Structure 1
């Protein structure tokens, strides 16, 4: 019954949004774009969303209004994509792992552990033809992919130091809904637990899960340092977002306004990717200053051992993601799974 009422409300909102586009917008009656996301305003994504709002409203001279809803105020992880497809919201920036359950499994290539060693390698993919081709695959779902936003590289956390694969054995580790992340945790001997991002703090606090993986900005702004004793700087995986819109809504916008929004998004994307690294570095320092979580720095040998344990996941997931796609990324970045 609850699901039916959600769908009904979403359809009603979609119809009203379509009707609004039929009339010429004015500053008194602007086109409203609801931009929903699940993290805090003071994360790289949260700041980029607010920067986009500022640019878009200025450039369209008030003809478009961007309403940003952070921290799962409107929808949780599992609800937001359906809400976008139905037109209840017009814009999202979900993590790339969300597209696997939607049926576009190729996006799970970004979940492969240790596939990117740094931002330069990553951007060869997200800002090149491979990334563009992946976004194009969303068209058939009624979704238009506009840009990639970095959040950063993920670190492991738990209430014990995580330095070797043996340290993970038996731990319940929170993951997003991703077959690749499931395989990653199982390769370490831990027990993957899917959980909405908005529920992770409570899950860690109550012991429903023992640990998690997050970029430092998410770890700190969601106060996970209050309920996790150790944060291991592993840089083992990437967490990024795709800025997406309801395709029908976007295509129905007046061309001049759509062009201004695209210019604004391009600048917001540059801003998001520029601040991601510095924000995460700053939040590692904030975690240290809190005195509540101990930072664990891996030696080169310890990181190499983790990598050796996790890289076999690439071959394990090749049939699901597409071996050609994985090999094309290896070629683009120079990754060698044997090293």
Structure 2
């Protein structure tokens, strides 16, 4: 019956057209003297999966009534509950196609198409409803909703589903009670990992099939807010409810871009305003009905339980790893913004130190940004396990600059304003770091570059220099890469990025070639986002070059490699590390197996005898659920950030002070430090702030599985 209903509606929508909403003409009396165009109303289809008795359906009806009132009947909203138009995944797909205008569904069900939305399913994320509202109505929520643009949906608001509770046929009040418990869950990797971590056995089952699954004994338990427990009748087939409040359940209200965008802007704005009004109305109503719902459950003879503070803490600890483990999937920029929110709630505590990260966490440099964050966090975890720094807990805060220098400056200003900030780590982009050197120097803020390689970051003209680096210096890297290229050929074609990083690398390459007696060579400079690669094709057509020397980031490197290998012969490529990462390999897998591409590195976990390296690899694999060292993405960034933080900690202990001038002096006086990359001997001096030297560089390549394999000297 449901399928027939759905098919009939779709036929109607296809017949009337207009991208998912259709026009109904009101009959208007005609007059002999004039031709009158009848006014029309637009009917929008609103679909969700909840029963008619639910608060969410009431909220949808409230939304529809407000839309009709504010548009004076120009728009009517037809609400279809209870999966009348298909299950959640089907409704979302129809909305993406413009055949359903508005969809309301649980965040977990949106996450199949938009993985970032899994963030909302994290266990014990929101201590209170107020925290949930503040975060989902604030920057974190805006970021999550923005992600839906990529799948042709307009994220509008988060409606209140309430806190989840556990129902079962026995009390669930301790961590041990979850052992081997078969639990019905929504199809979400994070939710499944949550129950796996608790020792249970999660099983995804459709919401409307859950009650029968409980009756048939397919599962022992399920999780849902009180409203769903009552409206779906779970309290009639389960004897116990534990008010665990282990996870909040937001519902995502989405509009179809394809249909709503065809409405006049004024009407679109009314829809958004009504959605926001309904959001607050629904939250108030949901919260007010909780006591009544609990009474209904108790009246059915169900036993009510709560978690003790001790047991709740045990559950929190058992699932605490999930946020960091899934950060790469959800987005480091979203997780970092949430961590910043919770820090702001508790920052009045003086017994802590902040190490900041300003990096690209969401755009082309996000793999490097996440590697830096993880390396720094692993070092901080080690420090805190040993009592912190000078008895104070160390907290890592990461801010996303999105590859935009003005945003980076705002981030740096915020870190400097925080009196607890000891030091800041930068990200991938040298030009962005260079843009705020003066700000760092004026505030005497310690800054470390665990990636950005432009010489001018450190050689910045300040004698009392507060910037340090544990990474390549392109003055040395250019020499190294040029010598490697000359091993492959005698007439290199140089391709560099049009940026501070690319231009300084080109200068270093030119100096090295000139020193080798090569005064003339061809170079090509590509803009970021370049689409015209004609210069490369023209150079290849002359058949003058026998090796490529490349200093590009991943997007331009990918396009350049495609052009370079449109036809044989395939020239060998010697490259900087700007393009390294899983995303680059996956995008070029077939081509990379045919060509000779090698690139500079400073570190690898593979076959590394260093005990510090082995321990870091073990900790990384444990914390981020990796099964082998080869699966540690952008290992160089991880190691350089880790060593950076540990060198900073070494200096703090040496200075026995958190005053930045004293820590700076101590950094310049370190004689020996056992690091992951190497044993550092006098890593810094008053006039030399680069910890890595040319002897630390080596070339590497991708193997057939995408792993970075060192080509040792």
TM over 0.5: yes
1:116-157 CA distances to partner (integer Å, 9 max, x unpaired)? 100121122111122112111111211111111111111111
Matched, 1:86 2:102: no
Higher mean C-alpha deviation, range 53-62 or range 18-27? 18-27
Matched, 1:100 2:111: yes
1:57-116 CA distances to partner (integer Å, 9 max, x unpaired)? 1222222221111111221123111121122311111111122211x2111111110011
Q: Distance in 1 between matches of 2:20 and 2:128?
A: 44
Equivalent runs, 1:45-194 vs 2, <5 Å: 45-102=56-113, 104-194=114-204
What is the aligned partner in structure 2 of residue 235 from structure 1? 245
What SS does the aligned partner of 2:244 have? strand
Q: Is the 8 A contact 1:14 1:86 kept in 2?
A: no
What is the aligned partner in structure 2 of residue 204 from structure 1? 214
What is the aligned partner in structure 1 of residue 225 from structure 2? 215
Q: Distance in 2 between matches of 1:290 and 1:51?
A: 30
Matched, 1:331 2:365: no
Deviation at 1:22, TM superposition (A): 8.5
What is the aligned partner in structure 2 of residue 270 from structure 1? 280
1:148-186 CA distances to partner (integer Å, 9 max, x unpaired)? 111111111111111112111112111111100010010
Distance 1:76 1:267, change over 3 A: same
TM-score with structure 2 length normalisation? 0.44
Distance 1:323 1:266, change over 3 A: closer
Distance 1:148 1:15, change over 3 A: farther
Equivalent runs, 1:248-263 vs 2, <5 Å: 248-263=258-273
Q: Is the 8 A contact 1:91 1:245 kept in 2?
A: yes
What SS does the aligned partner of 1:94 have? strand
Higher mean C-alpha deviation, range 313-322 or range 54-63? 313-322
Q: Distance in 1 between matches of 2:336 and 2:64?
A: 38
Any unmatched runs of 5+ in structure 2? 28-38, 347-380, 385-713
What SS does the aligned partner of 1:61 have? coil
1:215-237 CA distances to partner (integer Å, 9 max, x unpaired)? 00101111100011111011100
What is the aligned partner in structure 2 of residue 297 from structure 1? 306
Q: Is the 8 A contact 2:70 2:270 kept in 1?
A: yes
Distance 1:16 1:183, change over 3 A: same
Equivalent runs, 1:33-52 vs 2, <5 Å: 33-52=44-63
Deviation at 1:318, TM superposition (A): 2.3
Q: Is the 8 A contact 1:11 1:86 kept in 2?
A: no
Q: Distance in 2 between matches of 1:247 and 1:20?
A: 10
- RMSD (Å) for aligned C-alpha atoms: 2.7
Distance 1:22 1:96, change over 3 A: closer
TM-score with structure 1 length normalisation? 0.90
Q: Is the 8 A contact 1:188 1:309 kept in 2?
A: yes
Deviation at 1:29, TM superposition (A): 5.0
Q: Is the 8 A contact 1:97 1:178 kept in 2?
A: yes
What is the aligned partner in structure 1 of residue 43 from structure 2? 32
Deviation at 1:204, TM superposition (A): 1.1
By percentage of residues, which structure has more helix? 1
Higher mean C-alpha deviation, range 214-223 or range 162-171? 162-171
What is the aligned partner in structure 2 of residue 309 from structure 1? 318
Greater gyration radius: 2
Q: Is the 8 A contact 2:162 2:286 kept in 1?
A: yes
Distance 1:320 1:19, change over 3 A: closer
Deviation at 1:23, TM superposition (A): 6.3
Higher mean C-alpha deviation, range 33-42 or range 252-261? 252-261
Deviation at 1:271, TM superposition (A): 0.3
How many residues are treated as equivalent by the alignment?
A: 334
What is the aligned partner in structure 1 of residue 633 from structure 2? none
Q: Distance in 2 between matches of 1:58 and 1:48?
A: 15
Q: Is the 8 A contact 1:157 1:230 kept in 2?
A: yes
Q: Is the 8 A contact 2:139 2:337 kept in 1?
A: no
Q: Distance in 1 between matches of 2:219 and 2:24?
A: 51
What is the aligned partner in structure 1 of residue 13 from structure 2? 13
Deviation at 1:9, TM superposition (A): 7.4
Higher relative contact order (Cα pairs below 8 Å, separated by 6+ residues): 1
1:279-310 CA distances to partner (integer Å, 9 max, x unpaired)? 2332122111222x211112211222222222
Deviation at 1:265, TM superposition (A): 1.8
Q: Is the 8 A contact 1:231 1:294 kept in 2?
A: yes
Distance 1:133 1:25, change over 3 A: farther
Higher mean C-alpha deviation, range 298-307 or range 320-329? 320-329
